[in-house]
């Protein structure tokens, strides 16, 4: 099956610093990648949709200036948490939709293993 | 996307079938029913999907009612490794909106 990787798998940083998380589709090209956030004992919440070569679309309540998303190629999307604070500590997960995605038909998304961010 | 309702938790004895229900009464004609699961601290794992017909793969079976307003995921012989949160999602296949899911505990 298709594989999506995330790097790093975990990161600890000081408050006020910026952290970059990479999401890569290893054996397929992805038109679209999604970024989710998951707090302890809660479900995944969609943060933003990232399309290659265009600006990301953010869900309501997600600060686009704080969570910078870049989708520069069909295999890589990055999420940068700028000026991170302890409340940004969470599990960040990406998923990738293959290039062959077609509206109205079945499409399997492939999820990365997640990145655990701890801000001290 | 249509909203889904799942029981918050279920228990199942190892080796028995686990039947996880999901209500999606507002599903529209072009929306698929997807099931994913998430084992603690990992990314979600795809299980199965369906549109109208019942489906079976190596992991599970999906039973969708004729009116498509509800479905049941069946793990035929649950093992301890099936302990996870199971998410029923209704979507056209683009963004997946995860609800709270069902926390399944498989016991020895």
Q: What is the pLDDT of residues A60-99, one digit of tens each?
A: 999 999 999 998 899 999 999 999 999 999 999 999 988 7
- A62 vs B: CB within 8 A: no
Select from A36, A40, A42 the least CA-distant residue to A67: A36
Average the pLDDT over B4-11 and give the result: 97
pLDDT tens-place string over residues A6-45:
999 999 999 999 999 999 999 888 889 999 999 998 999 9
Q: Is the pLDDT of residue A53 over 90?
A: no
* Integer Cα distance of B39 and A1 in angstroms: 18
User: What pLDDT was estimated at residue A1?
Assistant: 66
pLDDT beyond 70 at A105: no
Predicted confidence (pLDDT) per residue in B56-68, tens digit: 999 999 999 999 9
pLDDT at B92 over 60: yes
The vertex-B66 CA angle with B64 and B68, nearest 5°, equals: 60
* Confidence grade of residue B1 (pLDDT, cut at 50, 70, 90): low
A105 contacts in chain B (CB < 8 Å)? 93
- Where on the phi/psi map is residue A61: left (φ > 0), alpha (ψ -120 to 50), or beta? left
Chain B touched by A93 (CB under 8 Å): yes
**Distance (Å) from the C-alpha of residue A91 to the closest C-alpha of chain B?**
8
- pLDDT(A104) > 60: no
Does A49 sit within 8 Å of B95, measured CB to CB? yes
Q: Do B44 and A43 touch (CB under 8 A)?
A: no
Return the higher-pLDDT residue of A104 and B95: B95
CB contact A96 to B (< 8 Å): no
- Judge: A111–B101 Cβ closer than 8 Å, yes or no: no
């Amino acid at each position: 099956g298709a594989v999506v990787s995330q790097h790093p798998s975990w990161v600890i940083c000081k408050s006020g610093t910026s952290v970059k998380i990479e999401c890569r589709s290893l054996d397929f090209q992805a038109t679209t990648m999604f970024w989710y956030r998951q707090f302890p004992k809660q479900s995944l919440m969609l943060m933003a949709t990232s399309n290659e070569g265009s600006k990301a679309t953010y869900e309501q309540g997600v600060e686009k200036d704080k969570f910078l998303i870049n989708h520069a190629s069909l295999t890589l999307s990055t999420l940068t948490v700028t000026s991170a604070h302890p409340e940004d500590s969470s599990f960040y997960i990406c998923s990738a939709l293959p290039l062959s995605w077609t509206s109205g038909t079945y499409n399997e998304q492939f999820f990365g293993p997640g990145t655990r961010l701890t801000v001290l | 996307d249509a909203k889904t309702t799942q029981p918050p938790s279920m228990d199942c004895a190892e080796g028995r079938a686990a039947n996880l229900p999901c209500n999606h009464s507002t599903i529209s004609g072009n929306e698929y029913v997807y099931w994913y699961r998430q084992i603690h601290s990992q990314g979600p794992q795809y299980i199965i999907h369906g549109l109208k017909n019942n489906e079976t793969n190596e992991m599970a079976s999906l039973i969708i009612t004729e009116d498509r307003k509800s479905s049941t995921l069946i793990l035929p012989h649950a093992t301890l490794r099936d302990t996870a949160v199971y998410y029923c999602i209704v979507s056209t296949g683009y963004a997946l909106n995860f609800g709270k899911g069902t926390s399944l505990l498989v016991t020895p």
